Chains A and B, each alone.
Chain A
Amino acid sequence: MVPLSYYLVLSGILFACGVTGFLVKRNIITIFMAIELMLNGVNLSFVAFAAQWHSLSGQVFVFFVMVVAAAEAAVGLAIIIAVQRNRETLNVDRVNLLKL
């Protein structure tokens, strides 16, 4: 049997990879994918805790997280299309109108 902490370690590694991708990557689409990776890491910890505490609420919560992620992906990708149309670049370093 697998100790619960192994699942949490895996979820922590996925979350750390997501944070790193969010900070390191310069392509706006890849940054968005890193956010999805973070959401997946959190989902794994939800399911693992649901298994530990014998409560199905954790799995229902994962379902809600997935629905919100789907809505976020739809709106976010539409924003990316709008950015590409207006600025003609996907590099976040060049989307800097708010910078001083």
Chain B
Amino acid sequence: MLHLILFLVFGAFCVAGAVNLLVQRHPINSALSLIVVMASLAVEYLLLGAEFVAAVQVIIYAGAIMVLFVFVIMLLNAGEEESTKGSQVAMVLGIPGMAVGSGLIAWVLLTHSGTRAAQLGELPGTPKTIGWLLFHEFLLPFEITSVLVLIAIMGAVVLATRQETTAPHKEMGPEQLQRFDARSDFLSQATPGTAMAQSRKED
């Protein structure tokens, strides 16, 4: 009974946060309501016995990712959303679409799935068991994930830094440009492929 009450309370928090994310016009308000959704989802995970997932949800999602979002919103000084013709059409079609979609999913799930109840603490997803699984059965995916994160870090750095070295001609004066051209001539002569081609031409 307590399980059901907790589920309903935090499920209501979840849905309220998700709807608030849609209604708010300022991105910072949407970000804060998304934090509410994620924190109450962590409680739902705890109810299902997934302790590790609940902790990671709070630390990574509600912590790291949302801090990144809020930081970018502040950095770009994102203001209120403008209302355009496209957004009004999307509003008119989207809100009924969401209601129909949710209703359809709920109806199919409630009528066609069994009434089997998930027991509280039936399947304890403690850090110990999850860690054992990660480093035995899922070792290869785990390592590939670390490579993915490394690539993502490098990609983020490359994308977010200002690219000043790609267009050298714009910022260089005439003398510097001449020197740049001279150096590129020197470089092309120094490369072995072109040197060989030239010597072959001389033969």
Give A residues with C-beta under 8 Å from B. Answer: 1-10, 12-21, 23-27, 29-30, 32-34, 36-37, 40, 43-44, 47-48, 50-52, 54, 56-57, 59-60, 62-64, 66-75, 77-82, 84-85, 90-91, 93
Contacts and interface: CB of A to CB of B under 8 A. Distances in A.
Given A40-B37, A73-B69, A2 B118 contact: yes
Q: Give the 7 A-B CB pairs with smallest separation, nearest first.
A: A12-B105, A1-B117, A71-B152, A78-B159, A20-B98, A17-B18, A24-B94
B199 interface: no
Interface string B109-122: 11001111111101
A24 B14 contact: no
Contacts, number: 249
B160 A13 contact: no
Size category, B interface: 35 or more
A24 B23 CA distance: 10
10 contacts: A3-B115, A7-B7, A20-B95, A29-B73, A33-B30, A47-B44, A50-B123, A56-B130, A63-B53, A75-B159
B75 interface: yes
Contacts of B151: 71
B91 to A, nearest CB: 6
Contacts of A74: 68, 152-153, 155-156
A77 B97 contact: no
Given A3-B115, A57-B137, A90-B76, 7 more contacts: A1-B117, A14-B18, A27-B81, A52-B116, A59-B50, A70-B65, A78-B155
A51 B49 contact: yes
A66 B110 CA distance: 28
A54 to B, nearest CB: 6
A26 B82 contact: yes
Nearest to B19: A17
B156 to A, nearest CB: 4
